[in-house]
Structure 1
Amino acid sequence: MCGITAYIGNKEAYPILIKGLQRLEYRGYDSAGVVMIENDCFNLYKKAGKVKVLQDFAESNNVLGNIGIGHTRWATHGVPNDTNAHPHVSNSGRFALVHNGIIENYASLKEQLKQRGYTFKSDTDTEVLVNLIEEIFVKEEIALEDAVRIALNEVIGAYAIVVLDNQDTDTLIAARKGSPLVVGVGKDEFFVASDASPIIEFTKNVIYLDDQEYVIMRRNGDIMVKTLGNIEKTPFIEELEMSLEAIEKGGFDHFMLKEIYEQPKVLEDAVRGRMSAEDGWIKLGGVSEYINKINSAKRFIITACGTSYHAGLLGEYLIEELSRVPVEVEYASEFRYRNPIISENDIVIAISQSGETADTLAAIEIAKERQALIYGICNVIGSSIARATHAGSYTHAGPEIGVASTKAFSTQVVILTLLALQIAEHKGTITTSYLRQVLFELKNIPNKIKETLKLDAQIQEIAEVFKDATNFLYLGRGVNYPVALEGALKLKEISYIHAEGYPAAEMKHGPIALIDEQMPVVVLATNDSAHEKIVSNIMEVKARSGKVIAIVNEGDTEIAALADYTIAIPQTEEILSPLLTVVPLQLLSYHIALMRGTNVDQPRNLAKSVTVE
């Protein structure tokens, strides 16, 4: 959840660290800090608040040094303040450390260290870890890399760490377990970060550390990767596909708005080379190798969190409707803590934008132990989920910087659609003519999203009317029920308005009690298969003075006559309609949040990638 950056080389470290933290701020923004080494001393600065607060404070002080580490924090242990901010320094003042993750046994370790005379200034588990490393270093009289390895074998939990020794300015040590860490390889210089965004400006050559690995980087360009079992590994250097432009706002006021408008392009990227509407074929690379096992599967289990869970619910509709195989959808955070029934005849689909979601990774390990085939859907190349699964597909959404997910959701739905269609084709549960019909319509979806985006001004006017609402209700049927959940989540995340999504037919089983003249009700009304039922739902809301905002197909005059506000979008195949209906909900949430003065890209208490439990 936190963001880590580090540098060793011949350049000044501070500008690299600060720029890196700015690019990682979407991972956490409760506090931030940096430390550089100059003349065997730490230049340490850390402040509660965003990176800009740290920058204003640090730049009036000495920020010299060509080795350093930085951190932007999402608080787990200890409130956000200057003291709890990272980096943390050992009692002797020799070692400094930044950490992303949670050390579960920190309390017992802290008590042991207290008994040995150590004192603690912060409430963090990180300060315990840096002092544990120092205790082992001093007591065992061993090299720092060995002290780090031994300490990490004693801790329980997840971590990505970088360690500095102010008596050795030629060495930087980093390690990971359960939290991501990337090493950028330059000419006689190294960069370390939680993801590639701080690195891409300086080098495209990277090493993705695996779980329970650590790396020793030296100023002369030497690098060594080892396991926590002290086994040396050959570093595998990959080339980043990311561009610097992809992580800039590109003229938009916010990353979220940019990412909403990128959806036509990224959906084209998601299907490129994977389907041909003209020739009527689909080929997801991750599916073909295991197609026989997938075809014979008795059940699919989809596990995910947050927005990815909503995409998974859509996957349930798609796979069951097209492939006629039972599907269960589970919150990964619940799945991992019960005793799920999984067999070798099951296919488990794990969905995560970052590919680093802690609960989803834990769910994968449970499913692996029970011999299920694991299929991953994620966005970040080289991520933990991509490496932990048997097969999978990248969504090719590109970097998503806004904390509230938009384009990642759409691309996940596209991959699930292609997956359902490919399975259906192989099982013979779909006709060739219908397959071609859906593929042609899927090919046209990017253009229809472009048409939907032209409604932005109209949606902005509706946002102005409802910006001061205290509650919202979202209703959808069939494939639009998960979209109702997603629309409600977007509004909650960035505007802090309480919102709930429900199946439209469930309104009468409780939520209808909430409806009065102050209650905006967003109705997703594009389902031709349930049009009459949706009309009845709207009339029930209107009978109780609720305000109806209806998302309808172009030309639907019946619902337009009933609703207070209507957003008419291009018509498409019903199973593909979520790719269009979600766009007005994203824009509505964005404009309401903007009008309420919230931080759209970095909403309070949230972080982009949940890498801790």
Structure 2
Amino acid sequence: MKPTMMTYINEEADYLMNMLNNYPTSIPDIKGKEWLILATGSSINAAYSAKYYIEHLTDVKIDIEEPFKFQYYEKLRSTTDIIIGISQSGESTSTIEAIKALNSQKLGIETFALTGNDTSEITQVVNHVVDIEVKEERVGYVTKGFSLTTLKLMLIGLKTAINQGLITDEEEKQELAEFRKAVSKIPAIIEKTNQFFEKWQDNFVKASRFTALGCGSVIGTALEMQTKFCETVRVPSQGMDIEVFMHGPYLEVNRNHQLFFIETNSPVNDRLTRLLDYESQYVDNLYTITLNSSSDERTLGLDLEFIDEYKAPLFTIVPFQVLAHHIAKKLGRNLPQRIYTDFGIAMQSKTKPGNYA
């Protein structure tokens, strides 16, 4: 049988656990204190998902940029000392070209590529190749690769914190133990999401817009929800920080919109709760995804109370991955049937066509 999105979502726990078991030998030593990450699509969303975890643990400042815009319109900070390009396929043209342009300046800055293809084009333009430990996803809508990229970056941050002497060996062990405990719960999260979909599927298929709202560390989750829903559900979808939402986009909401609130163990959760309470006056279908347990029927509780807000993006994305597949299928989207297959080559966004099942 051909693989589906769910094939790869169901593999996530095993692959993530394998990455944790390979730590620290599979994690590179990245020095420097100002990192520039270049990425597009789900790769840039993964970078945002890991950014705050890395910065929380280390003495590193991370800038994240779209490579095309960076190459033609941005300036490289004089203090940047590490450049990281992320491309799961290794074939993202804009990321490759931006790194080439930086190389031509002979800046002497170390460059890294995080990729799932160690023979791809991006590996030819960097000093170091970092394997994100994912086999090829042959459905066109990456899920497992997104999660593995996020964890790889987080573990780079953890190892950097040890190398910088900012955490103890015991604190490192505690971080790894929490990751392992939470990863072991991913199959249960998938099943909870299946049940959540069954309960609310009739509402989901009537949505005229989906919006995911979070704050702080889960901005990567909200952005990846937007990417996945646009790719698969193909109903207008957006993901943003609540502060962005409260300065304009709140004016567009109506009864037919569906809002997801992403709740973490954050000191600013009260703002999220107040926003949900307000929007409940004007939107019929609001849902919450929380790290905690919940008996509320519109809340999907992940039972991860022990996970802090910085690790949260690795786990809060899983329900959106599952829902994207299920809602798309319910709407009759034939995801195995590829559309616009010539787009990547026509627009030169990829170096070659994808190897899809």
TM-score for both structures, normalised by structure 1: 0.53
1:463–1:588 contact (8 Å) kept in structure 2: no
Query: Partner of 1:569 in structure 2?
Result: 302
Between the aligned partners of 2:26 and 2:79, the Cα distance in structure 1 is 22
Report the counterpart of residue 401 of structure 1 in structure 2.
138
Change (3 A) 1:530 1:345: closer
CA distance in 2, matches of 1:422, 1:268: 17
Out of 323, 331, 347, the position equivalent to 2:58 is 323
- Deviation digits for residues 37-67 of structure 1, max 9, x if unmatched? xxxxxxxxxxxxxxxxxxxxxxxxxxxxxxx
- State whether residues 344 and 373 of structure 1, in contact with CA within 8 Å, keep that contact through their aligned partners in structure 2: no
Quick one: structure 1 residues 438 and 601, their matched pair in 2 at CA, closer, same or farther if it must change by over 3 Å?
A: farther
1:286 correspondence with 2:28: yes
Query: Paired residue for 2:160?
Result: 423
SS in 2 for 1:389: coil
In the alignment, the residues of structure 2 paired with residue 285 and residue 550 of structure 1 have an alpha-carbon distance, to the nearest angstrom, of 34
Check conservation: 1:318, 1:575, Cα contact below 8 A.
yes
Match of 2:210 among 442, 460, 472: 472
**Alignment pair present for 1:365 and 2:100:** yes
Match of 1:266 among 15, 22, 26: 15
Helix, strand or coil: the match of 2:200?
helix
- Contact 1:323/1:420 (<8 A) preserved: yes
Q: Cα distance, 1:470 vs. partner? A: 1.7
- Give SS of 1:385's match: helix
Matched, 1:484 2:222: yes
Q: CA 1:608–1:260 in 2, change beyond 3 Å: closer, same or farther?
A: farther
Change (3 A) 1:531 1:434: farther
3-state DSSP of counterpart to 1:576: coil
Instruction: Report the 3-state secondary structure (helix = DSSP H, G, I; strand = E; otherwise coil) of the residue aligned with 2:184.
Output: helix
Shift of 1:363: 1.5
**Paired residues for 1:88-99 under 5 Å:** none
2:42–2:146 CA contact under 8 A, matched in 1: yes
Larger radius of gyration: 1
Shift of residue 590, structure 1, vs aligned partner: 0.8
| Count of aligned pairs | 343
What percentage of residue pairs aligned between the two structures are identical? 25
Whole-angstrom distance in 1 between the partners of 2:100 and 2:78 = 13
Q: Which has the higher helix share?
A: 2
TM-aligned CA distance change 1:541 to 1:608, over 3 Å: farther
2:319 is matched by which residue type in structure 1? P
Q: 2:231 aligns with which of 490, 493, 503?
A: 493
**3-state SS, counterpart of residue 604 of structure 1:** coil
Note the C-alpha offset of 1:306.
0.3
The answer to whether the 8 Å contact 2:263/2:272 transfers is yes
Cα distance in 2, alignment partners of residues 552 and 344 from structure 1: 38
CA contact (8 A) 2:35 2:80 kept: no
- Amino acid in structure 2 at the alignment position of 1:367: L
Q: Could you tell me which residue of structure 2 aligns to residue 413 of structure 1?
A: 150
- The SS at the match of 1:329 is strand
Verify the 8 A CA contact 1:525 1:550 in the aligned structure 2: yes
Match of 2:47 among 295, 312, 323: 312
Q: Give the one of 60, 64, 84 matched to 1:349.
A: 84
> Larger RCO: Structure 1 or Structure 2 (Cα < 8 Å, ≥ 6 residues apart)?
2
Question: Residues 611 and 283 (structure 1 numbering): CA distance in 2 closer, same or farther, change over 3 Å?
Answer: same
Q: TM-score, normalised by structure 2?
A: 0.89
2:244 alignment partner, one of 506, 530, 553: 506
Which residue type is aligned with residue 566 of structure 1? T
Deviation digits for residues 185-243 of structure 1 (CA, Å, limit 9, x no counterpart): xxxxxxxxxxxxxxxxxxxxxxxxxxxxxxxxxxxxxxxxxxxxxxxxxxxxxxxxxxx
Structure 1, unpaired ranges of 5+: 1-247, 275-281
Change (3 A) 1:397 1:612: closer
Which structure's residues are more often strand, by fraction? 1
2-structure distance, mates of 1:313, 1:577:
12
Q: What residue is the counterpart of 1:611 in the other structure? A: 350
Q: 1:597 to 1:362 in 2, by over 3 A?
A: same
Instruction: Please list every run of 5 or more consecutive structure 2 residues that lacks an aligned counterpart in the other structure.
Output: 353-357
CA contact (8 A) 2:232 2:333 kept: yes
Shift of 1:351: 0.6
Alpha-carbon deviation of 1:521? 0.3
Distance 1:512 1:431 in 2: 44
